[in-house]
Amino acid sequence: MKKPDLTRIRKLLSGKGLWVAAAACLIAVGGAGAAAYNKAVRQINDGINYSAPKVSESSKPSKYADEKVSSVPKDEASVPDTLSDDPSSEDMQSGPGTDIPISQPNVMPVNGEIIQPFSFGELVRSETLGVWKTHDGVDIKADKGTPVKAMNHGEVSRIWEDPLWGSCISIEHGTGIESFYYSLSPSMTVAEGDTVEAGQTIGMVGDTAQIEAAEPSHLHFAVKRNNEWIDPIGYIDPLTNK
């Protein structure tokens, strides 16, 4: 067996030894780095380095999180359970007084000049009779055929023919008030027992009152309160006579 040339080996080591040592170190370092890199990739792929935080049931968002919840307690008594608890229901609207007719303003039966006023119990001279007597109503100038209106809501209590006052109508208005319409045309538009409203036509102006025949065509209008004659114009609201 041939012996190794130790001198030649020493020369090689002295010239190339440094490079060999460096290469060995690089290989070692490179191998360690590659191994570390490969290990990290495997850990990421395998999910080893990622640990998702555990979420407790109490910390999970509720499905009602977007709904607004009032902290004010509900007053069950304030919510009607049935229609009868609703103030606007029919049974809440009924009660005493609901069958009372709605009050209506008084109206003049015809519009015209007062040619003979109420005499308040004083004696005045009648142009037709030529005597002194009380005038218990008012004479309102109006052409023959002019519609005559009811003073107010009421019931036609009587229709009759009087030898002095001609064709007449009376209406009961309640609370002791009764109105009278004299010297009408015989053709009436209402009958006894009819219910009339304020301003409703009940007949026409005529010329049937013989006791006032000397006067121009007019309606004799009178009002009683508790069977006493009162001034009809004073009883009528002037604002409704326009």
Task: Let me know whether 44 and 120 are in one domain.
Answer: no
pLDDT, residue 200, reads 97
**What tens digit of pLDDT does each residue of 21-48 get?**
444 444 344 444 444 444 544 554 454 3
Kindly state whether residue 139 falls inside one of the protein's structural domains.
Answer: yes
The C-alpha atoms of residue 154 and residue 104 are separated, in whole angstroms, by 10
Please indicate, yes or no, if residue 108 is contained in any of the structural domains: no
Count of residues making up the chain: 242
Yes or no: say if 234 and 117 are a contact pair by the CB < 8 Å rule: no
List beta partners, residue 161. 167
Among 11, 26, 49, identify where a domain stops. Answer: 49
pTM above 0.85, yes or no: no
CATH of the domain at 177: 2.70.70.10
Are 18 and 127 part of one and the same domain? no
Claim to verify: residue 41 and residue 119 sit in the same structural domain: no
pLDDT at 49: 43
Residues 234 and 140 in one domain: yes
Asked if residue 10 lies in contact with residue 16, where contact means CB atoms within 8 angstroms, the answer is: no
Residues 204 and 130 in one domain: yes
> Rounded to an integer, what distance in angstroms lies between the CA atom of residue 68 and that of residue 128?
90
Q: From 207, 213, 209, 218, select the one nearest 138 (Cα to Cα).
A: 218
Tell me, yes or no, whether 107 lies in a domain: no
Task: With beta carbons less than 8 A apart as the criterion, state whether 143 and 183 touch.
Answer: no
| Residue 141 is assigned to a structural domain of this protein | yes
The alpha helices in the chain, defined as continuous H runs, are 6-46, 90-93, 232-235
Residues 215 and 129 in one domain: yes
In a domain, 67, yes or no: no
Q: Do residues 129 and 45 both lie within one domain?
A: no
Same domain, 134 and 23: no
- pLDDT tens, residue order, the chain (242 aa): 545 454 554 554 455 444 444 444 443 444 444 444 445 445 544 543 434 444 444 444 444 444 444 444 444 443 333 333 333 333 333 333 333 344 578 999 999 999 999 999 999 999 999 999 999 999 999 999 999 999 999 999 999 999 999 999 999 999 999 999 999 999 999 999 999 999 999 999 999 999 999 999 999 999 999 999 999 999 986 544 44
Domain boundary among 10, 28, 49: 49
Instruction: Report CA-CA distances (Å) from 172 to 34, 80, 178, 225.
Output: 122, 46, 5, 10
pLDDT at 104: 73
Number of domains the chain contains:
2
Task: Say if strands 177-184 and 166-174 run parallel, antiparallel, or are unpaired.
Answer: antiparallel
Q: What is the pLDDT of residue 111?
A: 94
Whether residues 43 and 122 fall in one domain: no
Task: Give the residue among 136, 210, 200 at the shortest CA–CA distance from 166.
Answer: 210
Q: Based on the fold, state whether residues 126 and 230 are members of the same structural domain.
A: yes
For tokens 């009924």, the residue is 94
pLDDT value for 78: 37
Q: Is residue 195 part of a domain?
A: yes
The amino acid at 133: K
- 119 and 203 part of one domain: yes
Pairing of strands 132-134, 195-196: unpaired
Does 201 fall in a domain?
A: yes
Q: Would you say residue 170 lies in a domain?
A: yes
Residues 118 and 210 in one domain: yes
**Positive/negative CA dihedral, 240, 198, 173, 121:** positive
β-partners of residue 218 are 141
Strands 154-162 and 147-149: unpaired
Domain span including residue 29: 1-49
